[in-house]
Structure 1
Amino acid sequence: MTSLPEILLSVTKSKLSSLASVNNISGRSKMKKDELADALLKYITDPDQLKSSLLVTDEEEWTLFESLLREPSIQDNSLPYGDYAYYLERGLVVTYFNDNKFYIIMPDEVKAAAEQINMQELKKGRSRRQISYQYILAAVQLYGVIEPSKLIEIFNQQNDEQLTEQELTEYIDEMLVRGQSIALHDGYIVNSYLVNDEGDKDILALRASQKDKPYYVPNQEEFLRYADETYFEITPQLIALQQYVLAELCNDEEMVEYLIDDIQLACSKGSSIQDLIYEFESRNIHFKTAMQAQNTVAMLAEIHNHTRMWSNAGHTLVELQELAGSNEEQELLRLVGSQESPQNSVPKVGRNEPCPCGSGLKYKKCCGK
């Protein structure tokens, strides 16, 4: 069945109501089933509405759309749900199983509507949005929070075709509708990670910590890497800790890889050394000697000082110190001194204080024996 009218009439009224809600069909709550089907048919096959829907698609969705235009159907049991969910929720495609095989089709009427769209113009609009979306995502990943004017400044410094405030507002609204990991707060674009049950406390604190600090703005290629929320710089300090942990504390490579990822993430958000030690504890990675604890704390301090932080507008503490042109090191984390002789540089621990290895025991009962 590839006829959209037949498809719409074959589903339940509840399903039609859901499609009407996603497509913002006016007056849908008072419509009968056949009225919903007619309204949806008119909306879905409107070339202008279809163009608007396609403009905001990501690369996987767009690739699937082009394939569906060419093929009567696509059979692929391994097709990720995320690649076609957007179309399915809007009635632009239909899926079904036959002989345990998964099929996806685009109704003939949708294909006919697509033929009326200027594809060259559509592709240009999509390309413009995709690069803008990437800048927005990269900014909230690298800085946590940013003013729209600053984002426009960064974009326009790195691109010939200038971004306007109106465009940025439109693109942000589109990303919010699509559930991207951004939010708006008091005129700022923020990482959705900062939106929590504690209200705007974290956002306001981050804005205050960034005040008067210069932004770290790498070249376009490096900047856009941050659009991938899993991306971060693999610094020599992270590599050194990973190698040390594998050699001395834990030989589970996968666990250590996740440990390093979480330590970097925690550092980027300004977590304390105690929070970083917890990452070891939560994985049951324990220090067997005082030397191991001292070496690890020394390395964690170095990682902390060389990690790009939201609170520093993307800079590391070391970079900020260099930019300030000061010999003062008061902002750098100095729980330890030189890594070359950590046994002489870890602060002294009272024998009745908690052991720095994180065991939960007093120092005299643990590494201080």
Structure 2
Amino acid sequence: MSEILKGLNNIPVRTWRWLGVNETNLKDKMPEIGEYYLKPLSKYEGEGYKVIDINKNNSSIRFFDNKKELGVSETLTEIVTKNFNTGYLIEVEENKRIAEPLFFDYKMDSSNSILVDNNLIVAGENSEITVVMKYSSTKGVEAFHSGLTKLYAKKGAKINLVKVQLIEDDGIHLDAIAAATEENGEINCVLVELGARNTITSCKNDLISENSKGNIYSIYLGDKDRTIDINYVINHYGKKSESNIKTNGALMDNSSKIFRGTIDFKRGAKEAKGAEEEYTVLLSNNIRNRSVPLLLCGEDDVQGQHAASTGKIDENKLFYLMSRGFSELEAKKLIIESSFNPITEKVPIEELREEISEYIRRRMINV
């Protein structure tokens, strides 16, 4: 496959072309997809749930069947769903609460440099599950990851999905989440985007029934010539549905970032509430930072809030910390880490939280 990766992360409502935020294009080509031999999960079955290898017969659910652009583009969605080289179906039984998180450790090395994962998580009525997926690569490997994770929470169900991306600098990371939430259901996505030369991510959640909830919490860190492109969309269909998007990031060196956050109140979503907020710390004069927070409304009786804040580190905070004995570098690191902590604390595995903290400290060594 040699398709040029273009038309990625299309914004729901297009704006002036010269702003450069309607979509993203990569000069890279889609590599040939070979086999992926590693097994990311050690435990495939437990009380109340099962995990099986995904295939073309069990990888679909009716709600998503007619939606062409579940991922970062229609073309990539088709490639992932038809040509994936790994992936899993996770099913949770009704009325079962799975206490221990399922941990998928996706690694890319010299023998497994191409990862195309297609995952489906279905939570039965009044059930709950937490799934953690980590993506990493070996240093010196030009890793390529393209993935799609579909989530479906039935009535009263709760899905917590945590994705941690620590791919090395030579890698490309294209990741998408497509979710749907029924009545009184809830889907929470915690997304940690720290690695890869090019990071393009999408998260879309349809709140299809009354009292459904959807939350996205994410952090990103850009340095060197890193490119980060984010597209979050929450569609409110159900009455009294609720959503929240909260993103914190930091940019250094010559990095660039586009953030698109959209909350769309569809007709009929009476008394729905949605809020989104992005906060970016700028640590260089050479970065390029673009943010597009969108509120779309087809219903009158709703509450929506959106905000995007960008700026350098607060000089008063910096002065206070330095007056307490911290060096300027230590103080800057502390401020950035403190802005990330409310989100990284949602990662339920302590060892992984520590790995994230150490990864951030290494990346910020020359702030």
Q: Indicate the TM-score class for this superposition, using the shorter chain for normalisation.
A: under 0.3
In the superposition, the TM-score normalised over structure 1's length comes to: 0.22
In the superposition, the TM-score normalised over structure 2's length comes to: 0.22
Q: Which has the higher contact order (CA 8 A, sep 6+)?
A: 1
Q: Which protein has the bigger strand share?
A: 2
Structure ID, larger Rg: 1
Q: Which protein has the bigger helix share?
A: 1
